[in-house]
Structure 1
Amino acid sequence: MAATSLRSSCCLRHRPFHLAAVPNEAVVISGRKLAQQIKQEVRQEVEEWVASGNKLPYLSVTLAGENPASHSYVLNKTRAAADVGINSDATVTICHRYTPKEQLKKHTILADIVVYAAGIPNLIKEGATVIDVGIHRVQDPITAKPKLFGDVDFEGVRKKAGYITPVPGGVGPMIVAMLIRIPLLLSLEEQEVLKSKELGVATN
């Protein structure tokens, strides 16, 4: 199964179907010709959008499973996106604590972004952009005090990775910071709803 999202301000226009009529036969709707027309329009709109100082639109694809039809569909999407100048993300590989070490090393070396949350301290030794979501409280053998660790061998990986989040002080504070924004966002949303209702009453 493939799920796709496209973030852009491009507007789709109403357009006539491309039809091929043969006497005494059904009229054939040419999706290929219509698709080419749409891609030409999108390509132009993307160029105008970027020329106006906006960020390049991107196509996000999430592929679940190994269905050949889904793989083919995703490949067509990424090719079409590249053809009109849209960026398109990624092959997702899921590993776990029982993944053979050689396979785990292979995947982490090839990956551009690695997110760890396996539940085993110092599990991972390799990585590119490393996001460590794991957290473990372990007794320090020297001070006998509890110490926090992530899933990543931080000292080892920091010498190889381009970016890395520490534990503590990485993902945790960001999660807390985003969580405390939620009440404010909800309050602002509630305020907007009340304003809309008041304006509706005043208008009526």
Structure 2
Amino acid sequence: MAATRPLSALAAQLLQPRAQMRAVRNEAVVISGRKLAQQIKQEARQEVEEWVASGNKRPHLSVMRVGENPASHSYIRNKIRAAVGINSDASVTISHQYTPKEQLKKHTILTDVVISAAGIPNLITADMIKEGAAVTDLVGDVDFEEVRQKGGYITPAPGGVVAMLMKNTITAAKKVLRLEEQEALKPKELGVASN
């Protein structure tokens, strides 16, 4: 049977490089996420400004929050603060048909945009809407005559919302295609062969 080294000798040998490192340096190397984040945000800010200066629309970030977790509130606030020139005037709260009306009102009275699709006639009334809010009624939930006196914008249901969704989808697809075509042309313009 082959002779084996005692475990303590093997462990000492494996740990030797770390022990030698500690002798040279007594503390851990600090990797600064904040420093790196600042650099990335500065680069993103510059890209956004170049994008807008080229005649493009300023990018927009919308945030959807589900539930009332305080950590989520904090996370959303941090996103808004870090927007680097990107428009960000929104937290989205989702309620459903079983949300008590008083709880629902706590949300809708504060919002600039209300989109309703619960399927409950007259669920949204004027006392639940912020003055000047935009109200989109997809299926007849909004007391139209009452809310139109208070809201800044309102869509009657049924209306053109679904039609506009289809139109906006094809418009977005065309924009993506144009961007892809522009990217494909860049190497040719520079006289570079592409695969």
Q: TM-score, normalised by structure 1?
A: 0.59
Match of 2:136 among 131, 139, 146: 131
Confirm or deny: 8 A CA contact 1:58 1:87 kept in the other structure: yes
Aligned to 1:79: 81
Give the superposition deviation at 1:115: 1.1
2:64–2:93 contact (8 Å) kept in structure 1: no
Aligned-partner Cα distance in 1 for 2:125–2:39: 49
SS of the residue corresponding to residue 115 of structure 2 reads strand
- For 1:28, what is the secondary structure of its paired residue? coil
Change in Cα spacing, 1:27 to 1:88, as seen in structure 2 (3 Å) is: same
Does 1:65 pair with 2:55?
Answer: no
Distance (whole Å) between structure 2 residues aligned to residue 119 and residue 75 of structure 1:
32
1:161 equivalent to 2:151? Answer yes
* Relative contact order, higher structure (CA 8 A, sep 6+): 1
Q: 1 CA distance for matches of 2:59 and 2:78?
A: 18
Query: Is the 2:66–2:93 contact (alpha carbons within 8 Å) kept by the matching residues of 1?
Result: no
Gaps of 5+ in 2: 1-23, 175-195
Corresponding residue pairs, total? 147
Alpha-carbon offset, residue 112 of structure 1: 0.9
> 1:26–1:57: structure 2 CA closer, same or farther, 3 Å change rule?
same
2:187 match: none
Residues 94-116 of structure 1 deviation map (CA, whole Å, 9 limit, x = unaligned):
33444444443343222111111
Is structure 2 residue 56 aligned with structure 1 residue 47? no
Q: Give the Å deviation of 1:173.
A: 4.2
- 1:152 partnered with 2:164: no
- Structure 1's 156 and 77: CA in aligned 2 closer, same or farther, altered over 3 A? same
Partner of 1:118: 118
Write out per-residue CA displacement over residues 149-184 of structure 1, whole angstroms, 9 at most, x where no aligned residue. x111111111211111112333354467789x7xxx
CA distance in 1, matches of 2:168, 2:87: 27
- Preserved contact between residue 123 and residue 142 of structure 2 (Cα < 8 Å): yes
Distance 1:62 1:106, change over 3 A: closer
- Tell whether the 8 Å contact from 2:63 to 2:90 is kept in structure 1 after alignment: yes
- Answer yes or no: is the 8 Å Cα contact 1:61–1:89 preserved in 2: no
- Alpha carbon RMSD of aligned pairs, Å? 3.2
Code of the aligned partner of 1:168: P
CA contact (8 A) 1:59 1:89 kept: no
SS at match of 2:114: strand
Question: In structure 2, what residue type is equivalent to 1:30?
Answer: S
Equivalent position SS for 2:107: helix
- Alignment-mate amino acid for residue 95 of structure 1: S
5+ unaligned residues in a row in structure 1: which ranges?
1-21, 135-149, 186-204
> Is the radius of gyration larger for structure 1 or structure 2?
2
**Partner secondary structure for residue 115 of structure 1:** strand
More helix by share: 2
**Aligned in 2, Cα 1:108/1:58: closer, same or farther, shift over 3 Å?**
same
Aligned to 1:108: 108
More strand by share: 1
Distance 1:95 1:52, change over 3 A: same
